[in-house]
Amino acid sequence: MSRLRRLLTPRVVAQVLAWTALWLVLTVLVGTAIFLQSSRTIVLASHDAVLRPTLSGYVEVRTGPVLPDVRVPSGQRVGVDVYLGKTEVESTEALIERYAVIASQPDGQRAKAEDALREMAVSALLRGAVVALVPMGLWFLLGKRRRAELGHRLRNPVIASVTGLLVVGVLVVWEPWEGDDRTVESDHDWQSLEDFLGGVSVPAEVEDLELRGDVTTQETRRLVESAIDTYDKSLEFYQTAAEQAAALDLRVPEEGDTVVALISDRHDNVGMDAVARAIADRGAATAVFDAGDDTSVGQPWEAFSLDSVNEAFDDLARYGVAGNHDHGTFVTSYLSDLGWTMLDGEPIEGPGGIVLLGVDDPRSSGLGSWRDETGLSYAEVGSRLADAACDAPERVSTLLVHDPTLGREALERGCADLVVGGHLHVPRGPEQYVGPAGEVGYSYTNGTTGGAAYAIALGSKPRRSADVALVTYRDGVPLGIQNVTLQTDGVFVVGEFVVLDYDTPVVADPGG
Top pLDDT among 55 and 171 is at 55
pLDDT-derived band of residue 315, with 50, 70 and 90 as boundaries?
very high
The CATH 3.60.21.10 domain(s) of the chain lie at 256-499
State the helix-helix crossing angle for 107-154 and 157-174, rounded to 10 degrees: 150
Identify the pLDDT of residue 214.
58
Least confident range from 323-337, 350-364, 371-385, 465-479: namely 371-385
Q: Are 439 and 414 in contact (CB under 8 A)?
A: yes
Dihedral angle at the C-alpha atoms of 131, 132, 134, 138, nearest 10 degrees? 170
In this model, does residue 347 exceed pLDDT 90? yes
In this model, does residue 187 exceed pLDDT 60? no
Identify the pLDDT of residue 369.
41
Percent of the chain with pLDDT over 90: 35
**pLDDT tens column, 29-82:** 888 888 888 888 988 888 888 999 988 888 888 887 667 788 888 888 888 888
Identify the pLDDT of residue 462.
81
Least confident range from 131-140, 415-424, 463-472: namely 131-140
pTM of this structure: 0.79
Mean pLDDT calculated for residue range 221-236 = 77
Average pLDDT, the chain: 82
In this model, does residue 341 exceed pLDDT 70? yes
In this model, does residue 319 exceed pLDDT 90? yes
Least confident range from 232-236, 237-241, 319-323, 491-495: namely 232-236
Q: Alpha helices, DSSP H only, in 67-106? A: 92-104
In this model, does residue 180 exceed pLDDT 60? no
Mean pLDDT calculated for residue range 226-239 = 81
The neighbouring-strand residues paired with 48 are 43
Cβ-based neighbours of 299, under 8 Å, separated by 6 or more = 88, 327, 330
Q: φ, ψ for residue 210 (rounded to 5)?
A: -125, 150
Mean pLDDT calculated for residue range 319-343 = 91
pLDDT-derived band of residue 217, with 50, 70 and 90 as boundaries?
low
Question: Structurally, what CATH architecture does the domain formed by 256-499 represent?
Answer: 4-Layer Sandwich (3.60)
Identify the pLDDT of residue 511.
47
Identify the pLDDT of residue 104.
77
Least confident range from 26-30, 252-256, 363-367, 466-470: namely 363-367
Mean pLDDT calculated for residue range 276-298 = 93
Mean pLDDT calculated for residue range 306-310 = 93
Most confident of the following: 21-25, 206-210, 286-290: 286-290
**pLDDT tens column, 376-394:** 677 878 888 888 999 999 9
Identify the pLDDT of residue 375.
56
Least confident range from 87-96, 207-216, 382-391, 418-427: namely 207-216
State the helix-helix crossing angle for 330-337 and 303-312, rounded to 10 degrees: 40
pLDDT-derived band of residue 428, with 50, 70 and 90 as boundaries?
very high
In this model, does residue 478 exceed pLDDT 50? yes
pLDDT-derived band of residue 151, with 50, 70 and 90 as boundaries?
low
pLDDT-derived band of residue 182, with 50, 70 and 90 as boundaries?
very low
Q: Which helix (H) or strand (E) holds 114?
A: helix 107-154
Most confident of the following: 61-75, 134-148, 367-381, 497-511: 61-75
Strand, coil or helix: what is 356?
strand
Mean pLDDT calculated for residue range 299-318 = 92
The neighbouring-strand residues paired with 445 are 421, 428
Top pLDDT among 410 and 74 is at 410
Residue-wise burial string across 272-285, b where 16 or more C-beta atoms lie within 10 A, e elsewhere? bbbbbbbbbebbeb
Top pLDDT among 208 and 320 is at 320
How far apart CA 349 and CA 397 sit, in angstroms, is: 10
Q: Are 234 and 218 in contact (CB under 8 A)?
A: no
